[in-house]
Amino acid sequence: MGADKAFPRDTHLTSIAIAYKNPDLSLIADAVLPRVPVGKRSFGYIEYPAAEMYTVPDTRVGERSVMQKVDVSGERKPSEVEDFGIAVPLTASDISEAPAGCDPKERATERATNAVLLDREIRVAKLVFDPAKYTTGVNKTTLVTATQWNKADVDPIRAILTGLDAAYMRPNRLILGQEVWRTLSTHPLVVSACLGNSGTSGVATREKVAELLGLVEVLVGEGRVNNAKPGKAAQLVRVWGKHALAVYTDRTADTSGGITFGFTAQFGTRVAGSKEVDMGLYGGTEVRSGESVKELIVAPLAAHFWENAIA
């Protein structure tokens, strides 16, 4: 959050916001675009051209020769974090009539933080699953009915391996929505390869699929979002849609350097606080929670995107 002296931060509520994790909700945004700290709201990061991914200097050193030097040719670009937060109002009755042992401010902090994290999941999915970020014939494959992975006569293993090898940096993580994962994990060829049977029964696990494809892990997004306009009947759709993406992630990379598909610049920590507000006859309290972050793709060529992986 930006500086707001009229809305004080609360140390206790902030600690709840930092530690909060919904145990019943599978969110993958932090794994897709790992968080890296930045010291100021405005920061710079390095974006690498394709040549930089492949250029390896001569490291041989003669007994009396001068050491070779590496000149990093990436382009430094400016950026700035954005604030994301939500407020939960509590009436005087919400607080005074709360059950024993239940702190309404703590619960409101959890609810607000949950909303912020869900919104982040949607932003990250929209960013990394944007077909315009990738180039057809280079690191994007657009599937049609005859080649989509839900077809029994299509070999998704071969399709994925081909895409992995085509990326400028071989990806180490596969990102899928729940629908795509269900299709992949029950495909006869995948089941047969992972379980060693005929492929007519059983379900492949993420660990087995990752091992089969030579990946660190398979990430599956399970979230849903209501696409309906306010006042209209709910239209729940999957946050991660029907695409698939393989990315190379280097968790040691940050804004100072290191080739990686992308990351999230984070300024400070999540913050939370509360203050009394003018509400109703008896007044009330407003609880806020939020964070200052910026999601970035810094090496799109270190990935392969399958558009419309399933029908």
Arithmetic mean of pLDDT, 3-32: 86
Confidence of residue 57 (pLDDT cuts 50, 70, 90): low
Strands (E), the chain: 35-38, 42-47, 75-80, 82-91, 140-142, 173-177, 217-221, 224-226, 236-238, 244-247, 262-277, 284-297, 303-307
The domains of the chain are located at 11-50+76-307
End-to-end CA, the chain: 40
pTM of the model: 0.89
Between strands 262-277 and 35-38, the pairing is: parallel
Q: What is the pLDDT of residue 48?
A: 75
Q: What is the pLDDT of residue 224?
A: 82
238's tokens? 């999957």
Q: What is the pLDDT of residue 1?
A: 45
Note the pLDDT tens digit of each residue in 256-292. Answer: 988 899 999 999 999 999 999 999 999 999 999 999 9
Arithmetic mean of pLDDT, 237-259: 93
Q: Are 28 and 177 in contact (CB under 8 A)?
A: no
Three-class SS of 93-123: HHHHCCCCCCCHHHHHHHHHHHHHHHHHHHH
The residue ranking higher by pLDDT, 22 or 280, is 280
Residues 180, 183, 185, CA angle at the centre, nearest 5°?
105
Does residue 67 surpass a pLDDT of 80?
Answer: no
CA distances from 23 to 9, 41, 138, 209 (A): 25, 31, 39, 24
Does residue 2 surpass a pLDDT of 50?
Answer: no
How far, in Å, CA of 85 to CA of 289, rounded? 6
How far, in Å, CA of 196 to CA of 138, rounded? 33
CATH, domain range 11-50+76-307: 3.90.1690.10
Nearest partner of 238 among 147, 136, 152, 129, judged by Cα:
129
How far, in Å, CA of 84 to CA of 121, rounded? 12
How far, in Å, CA of 140 to CA of 118, rounded? 27
Note the pLDDT tens digit of each residue in 81-90. Answer: 999 999 999 9
